Chains A and B, each alone.
Chain A
């Protein structure tokens, strides 16, 4: 090779290296958020560097955009095969934690899609949904640019991102709703046990209904009791005898938090409530021995 050509080649490679180095934090931020793994993100970046080094860069106008595109596409591919491995992982699979003391947003415009809680939720999205969400929410990419990167139409990228957002919001809401439901149930059991009408009325929706299911085998009101004041008074009426010597344990009925009531070591009832925006709207007393055995 002639000296001039050698010089040009060296300069060119040095520029390529500088461009890669400058983009590296962002590229790592993208790959890590899509993969939830430092080692897999490092592998992706190494592959990007090799491709970039050997690519005909004369036709590349925007080095950073090119590198981000290559990184995203590779990360999507790696995630597809990583998913299978994660399913057969020994015990729970968790994202590889990163030290963010030096770079709190990990190469991104925003600290989005970085918290471990969010990365766990992102595991449930498809790789393309996840990549679109990451580029949009953490890196602020315009939809048409994301569309070019992942090879979809801008309209379908909008859909992918909004589906991902909705999915994450639903998961978060569900967990808040579960906690809220448990608070209502705990407060209800305490007030029912104490026969405290005022607190019960406070917890109930106006049209609350109390159902008892004794299966004909035990004594229980066969007719549902309806209305805030009536249900509260009904519960107070039997509070004295019903709860004596009863121990209460948490239980679950069809995925809903409930309590199991037992006396002298024998379970005799399972109780749960459902909650609407107005408060507790249904109370269920399951005292059917056959059903309790199953629960």
Chain B
């Protein structure tokens, strides 16, 4: 799969996520999507994988809802388009995605502040 499709799908995913519309967000997720989040025990987040489009959409919207005023932007993460979540200029989350056939198949969500130090230097 090319960088173009990856970029397009992840950007649309970020827009739908930020809008808070669970239906629109779920429509961009593969029915068998898996979301893994790393809070490192410091941040309250799902400690088990979240599976399925509906559950993942609700989970992701909850992540944003618990962080008032959070802003989302696309950014190069590990060589591909990912998403950066900022709250009052501080990076509070970095998201990488797996994409197949125009849908998000994997969401890797790093919320652990210790793993975001490099983003806040």
A residues touching B (Cβ–Cβ < 8 Å)? 37-39, 89-101, 104-106, 111, 114-117, 119-120, 175-176, 178-179, 182
Contact = CB atoms under 8 A, between A and B. Distances in A.
Contact of A91 (B45, B108, B116): B45
Nearest to A120: B108
Nearest to A32: B78
Interface string B29-73: 011100011111100011111000000000000000000000000
Contact of B79 (A39, A111, A175, A176): A111
A114 B79 contact: yes
Interface of B: 30-32, 36-41, 45-49, 75-80, 82, 94, 96, 98, 100-101, 105-106, 108-110, 114-119
A105 B31 CA distance: 32
Nearest to A37: B115
A152 to B, nearest CB: 28
A93 B105 CA distance: 18
Nearest to B46: A91
A99 B31 contact: no
A179 B32 contact: yes
Nearest to A92: B36
A97 B78 contact: yes
Most chain A CB within a 10 A radius of its CB, from B31, B40, B79, B115: B79
Contacts of A96: 110, 115, 118
B18 to A, nearest CB: 19
Contacts of B101: 179
B40 A89 contact: yes
Given A98-B118, A116-B96, A92 B75 contact: no
Contacts of A92: 36-38, 47-49
B78 A116 contact: yes
A99 B118 contact: yes
A101 B36 CA distance: 24
12 contacts: A38-B115, A89-B41, A91-B37, A93-B38, A94-B37, A96-B110, A97-B115, A97-B119, A99-B119, A115-B80, A116-B82, A175-B105
B44 to A, nearest CB: 10
B46 A101 contact: no
Contacts of A178: 32
A91 B48 contact: yes
A interface: dominant SS: loop
A116 B77 contact: yes
Nearest to A101: B76
A21 B11 CA distance: 36
A116 B117 contact: no
A101 B75 contact: yes
A91 B38 CA distance: 7
Contacts of B110: 94, 96-97
B79 A94 contact: no
A179 B16 CA distance: 24
Contacts of B41: 89-91
A145 B115 CA distance: 33
B49 A106 contact: no
Contacts of B78: 95, 97-98, 100, 106, 114-116, 119
Contacts of B118: 38, 96, 98-99
